[in-house]
């Protein structure tokens, strides 16, 4: 992914993720994200009502992820609904809600086997909506991929053999450990999964759930109160895809653009949670 990388603290081998953390503009994005996260974690409401903030962040994050996948429902509609099986949009929202709930339970599995955790995320997302043989495993030759959003970006769909090799490479990087900031690691996981589209369906929601797992597991957002999905949705599908094309290009400029985009999304998610804290403090939520 990057040349002349620094040694990994865990293995002494090269650390390509750390190189990405030094690209122009990325350290500034990392610092800005850290300041934003520190602000919400320092809010007085977090001392006593962090669980309420986390619940609201999960709901709003799921709504944002579903919106990017094409099901842009009002927040109150999601609160009101109990059945998410009526149509494709409802199933998309239901998948996003299930993924948000499940991601918090997968940290230990993620650390040991990211691929196993991804398979579990896909199983949860599919919820019986996909053909049983294709659920919970990477696609094989001849299987179609239903991912119209990424298809709009005209990012080539890798063959299953390439998907398997790149997933192995990503797993190796994650298990080896990296000196790279959490934002960089989360952005790479998110971008790589979107470009690979390893499953036949729900790749976008799964990629965003994996980003959430990295942010929580890294310690940047241990209480899962910073819903980056909110920011990704607010920045819009066109901006999301343009930044993803930068990642897919593999150029330093493109990679930095994607990481910066993910940073801005996370900051907007933090802003959302700060607003929730303020509302709780006023007794308005």
Q: Name 90's Cβ contacts closer than 8 Å, sequence gap at least 6.
A: 71, 81, 83, 84
Please tell me the distance from the alpha carbon of residue 259 to that of residue 149, in angstroms, as a whole number: 19
Is 14 exposed, middle or buried, given 0-12, 13-18 or 19+ CB atoms closer than 10 A?
A: middle
Q: Which residues of the chain have pLDDT under 70?
A: 1-13, 128-131, 284-285
Q: What pLDDT sits at residue 187?
A: 98
Q: What pLDDT sits at residue 225?
A: 97
Q: What pLDDT sits at residue 284?
A: 56
DSSP 14: E
Token readout for 212 is: 């959430």
126: left (phi over 0), alpha (psi -120 to 50) or beta: alpha
pTM reported for the whole predicted model = 0.91
DSSP 154: T
Q: What pLDDT sits at residue 10?
A: 40
The HSE-up count of residue 40 (CA atoms within 13 Å, CB side) is: 30
């Amino acid at each position: 992914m990057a040349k002349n990388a620094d040694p990994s603290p865990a293995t002494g081998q090269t650390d390509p993720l750390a190189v990405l953390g030094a690209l122009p503009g990325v350290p500034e994005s990392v610092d800005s994200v850290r300041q934003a996260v520190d602000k919400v974690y320092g809010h007085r409401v977090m001392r006593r009502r962090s669980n309420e903030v986390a619940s609201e962040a999960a709901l709003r994050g799921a709504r944002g992820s579903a919106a990017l996948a094409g099901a842009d429902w009002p927040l109150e509609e999601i609160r009101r609904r109990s059945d998410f099986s009526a149509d494709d949009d409802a199933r998309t929202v239901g998948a996003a809600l299930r993924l948000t709930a499940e991601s918090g339970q997968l940290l230990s599995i993620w650390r040991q086997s990211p691929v196993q955790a991804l398979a579990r995320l896909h199983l949860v997302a599919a919820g019986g909506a996909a053909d049983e043989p294709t659920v919970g495993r990477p696609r094989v030759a001849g299987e179609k991929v239903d991912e119209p959003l990424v298809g709009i970006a005209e990012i080539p769909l890798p063959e299953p053999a390439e998907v398997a090799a790149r997933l192995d490479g990503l797993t190796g990087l994650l298990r080896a450990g990296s000196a790279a900031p959490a934002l960089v690691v989360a952005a790479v996981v998110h971008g790589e999964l979107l470009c690979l589209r390893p499953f036949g369906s729900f790749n976008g929601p799964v990629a965003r759930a994996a980003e959430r797992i990295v942010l929580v597991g890294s310690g940047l957002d241990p209480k899962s109160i910073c819903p980056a999905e909110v920011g990704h949705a607010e920045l819009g599908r066109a901006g999301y895809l343009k930044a993803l094309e930068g990642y897919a290009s593999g150029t330093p400029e493109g990679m930095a653009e994607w990481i910066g985009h993910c940073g801005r999304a996370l900051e907007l998610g933090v802003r959302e949670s700060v607003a929730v804290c303020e509302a709780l403090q006023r007794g308005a939520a």
